[in-house]
Chain A
Amino acid sequence: MLLGKSVTEILALIKNKKISSKEVIDYFLKRIEKYNKKLNAYLTINKSYKADKLDKIKVPIAIKDNFCTKGIRTTASSKVLANFIPPYESTVTKRLIDTSFFILGKTNMDAWAHGSSTETSDFGPTKNPWDLSRCPGGSSGGSAAAVSSYLAPVAIGSETAGSIRQPASWSGVIGLKPTYGRVSRYGLIAMASSLDCPGPLTLTTEDAAFILKIIAGKDKFDATTAPNEVPDYVASLKKKKKFIIGITDEYLNGVDGEIKEAFYQLVLILEKLGHKIKKIKLLSPKYSISVYTIIQRAEVSSNLARYDGIRYGNDRTFFGSEAKKRIMLGTYVLSYGYYDAYYKKAQKVRTLIIEDFKKVFKEVDIILAPTTPIAALKLKEFEKYPFFGEMMDVLNEPAAIAGICAISFPFGLTKKENLPIGLQLMGRWFEEENILNLTYQIEKETDFLEVIKKGVKNYPD
């Protein structure tokens, strides 16, 4: 009865007394017990619900393991924090708990969110629910896999540059990266503070709008959150808005043929729906890779300096290989004599990228592009590619660096391997309403929900 139901649907069932919150939570805990060993989507299960006040409506949610959850182990998938129990609650999880959510558990990720495959986790990789020999994407791979296999009706992830959209694309669910500053980072284990951005991974567009409405908005504990009003994202889904949509060759270079085909198919559908398609020119995403590499490593080296093993966690010998490499590169680009050549140069090119988007957004409302150049890779394949993560996130990094909002949704399957294809919409700063609105129009016009449903059906009760 519950299999594949969205958060909105589950809430309605509970409100109409068709099912109790306890039954829903038990249902998901049972599914986790059945499938989690195979998928390794969850690292920690929250069994405290008996003590939890269930007289209030509670819908289960999975949380990426880099959000501090008071009393629930939080590791960021690193052995440095293997036994860390946060003494406080992150703003995102607090808002969710205070509304009507129960944290089912904490999901696996690349250690410290460094990666795009969930393979750098110190607690083993998560498997792609569509093909267990493949990566779910990353770094929010556990969250994407949990939703895709219906071990949770919704999950929270975080994105620095692609970490929500890329796993959503590879695992066949919806992933929303809000504008930087739209959602509080308080209690999110910091990776690159000028880029980090929490967001939901969901089964429907409506759920993405619903969750964003809860977690978005000014937070007094995160000075980078914007005071802009939070619109009713759900209510505005149903307006039939017309948009000018930009497409660019720069985002199709090196993209797999089948994904390109899906992209052009959607272009035709959008025209049919009465939207205007316009060719635009953007800076090559290859510069975004460099800017991201420098800024991310620099901020990582400074953020991870706090892990000294004195006040909490294990000492620095517990860092894995990827974290060490990133900390050292960050130290290099920030060190005396190199600061201007690398860090400052990257911050200047970041300005160029922001200006570039500002210019384009004068001509168009939304940009359409593929989310990833190829569908899900096999486990361990990344070792063969230098810069693996960056290449897989090449189409995600420009939006992250500019801080604009973007959403990825599944759009068909590859023919031979039957893997989800992801396309994305990028919108102006704080215009989540528009990209959600267009995604909803696409959802109603096409059968993209069928892809998500098909994924869920691979994991029967």
Chain B
Amino acid sequence: MKKKSLSKEEVLQLSKLAGLTLVDDEIVKYKTQLEETISYIENLNELATDNVLPTSSATFLKNVFFDDGEKNKRGLNLEEVFQNTQNKEGNFFKVKKIFDE
């Protein structure tokens, strides 16, 4: 099995993309574990798949639509929408500013 390697920067970049903050020993730990996993999954290259179509779901269903109005039946009222948050102002969720003025 050919060993794949990841740099520390790549691990940090992944954590940034995923919105996760890592401490130093986590970086080292995840680097090793990710390398191990990535090396293992290489075995898929033993199988030829040139003329194979990718599967996205195993249900074999096509073109599933909601009937009119059905979707709204699962709607929540305002109280239910906000019952699990502390970041509320009026009927809005309060979030950190993304752009500087």
Contacts and interface: CB of A to CB of B under 8 A. Distances in A.
Interface of A: 83-85, 87-88, 180-181, 186, 194, 220-221, 223-224, 226, 286-287, 289-291, 293-294, 301, 305, 308, 310-313, 316-317, 319, 321, 324-325, 327-332, 335, 342, 344-352, 354, 386-387, 401-403, 429
Given A220-B70, A290-B44, A335-B17, A347 B54 contact: yes
A224 B30 CA distance: 34
Given A350-B54, A354-B58, A290 B49 contact: no
B20 A319 contact: yes
Given A349-B44, A351-B52, A387-B40, 15 more contacts: A85-B83, A88-B76, A224-B64, A226-B61, A319-B20, A329-B34, A329-B38, A332-B34, A344-B54, A345-B44, A345-B49, A346-B41, A351-B53, A351-B55, A403-B58
Contacts of B89: none
B15 interface: yes
Contact of A301 (B18, B38, B73, B74): B18
19 contacts: A85-B84, A223-B64, A287-B44, A290-B41, A293-B41, A294-B44, A310-B93, A317-B21, A321-B26, A325-B30, A325-B33, A327-B20, A328-B34, A348-B54, A350-B58, A351-B49, A351-B52, A386-B33, A403-B59
Given A344-B54, A402-B58, A403-B59, A313 B84 contact: yes
A348 B53 contact: yes
Contacts of B66: 220, 223
Contacts of A316: 19-21
Interface string B22-66: 100010011001101110111111110100111111111100101
A291 B60 CA distance: 19
Nearest to B6: A332
B26 to A, nearest CB: 7
Contacts of B58: 180-181, 194, 350, 354, 401-403, 429
Interface in B65-101: 66-67, 70, 73-74, 76, 80-81, 83-85, 87, 93, 95
Interface residues of B, number: 51
Contacts of B53: 348, 351
Interface residues of chain A: helix, strand, loop or mixed (majority): helix
A87 B40 CA distance: 41
A300 to B, nearest CB: 10
A351 B38 CA distance: 21
B78 to A, nearest CB: 11
Nearest to B79: A87
A290 B14 CA distance: 20
Contact of A310 (B19, B38, B95): B95
A87 B44 contact: no
A283 to B, nearest CB: 8
> Which residue among A310, A344, A387, A402 has the maximum number of chain B CB atoms within 10 Å of its CB?
A310
A335 B10 CA distance: 11
Nearest to A194: B57
Contacts of A325: 30, 33-34
Contacts of A348: 49, 52-55
Contact of A351 (B18, B22, B54, B59): B54
B52 A352 contact: yes
A403 B80 CA distance: 35
Contact of B44 (A221, A319, A346): A346
Contacts of B85: 310-312
A312 B57 contact: no
Contacts of A349: 44, 47, 49, 52
Contacts of B40: 289-290, 293, 387
A226 to B, nearest CB: 6
Contacts of B22: 324
A99 B60 CA distance: 30
A312 B55 contact: no
B44 A224 contact: no
Given A87-B83, A347-B56, A354-B55, A311 B44 contact: no
A181 B54 CA distance: 19
B47 A352 contact: yes
Nearest to B76: A87
A352 B15 contact: no
Contacts of A226: 59, 61
Contacts of B55: 347-348, 350-351, 354
A84 B80 CA distance: 12
A84 B42 CA distance: 39
A311 B47 contact: no
Contacts of B52: 348-349, 351-352
A352 B34 CA distance: 26
Nearest to B70: A220
A324 B44 contact: no
A305 B37 CA distance: 22
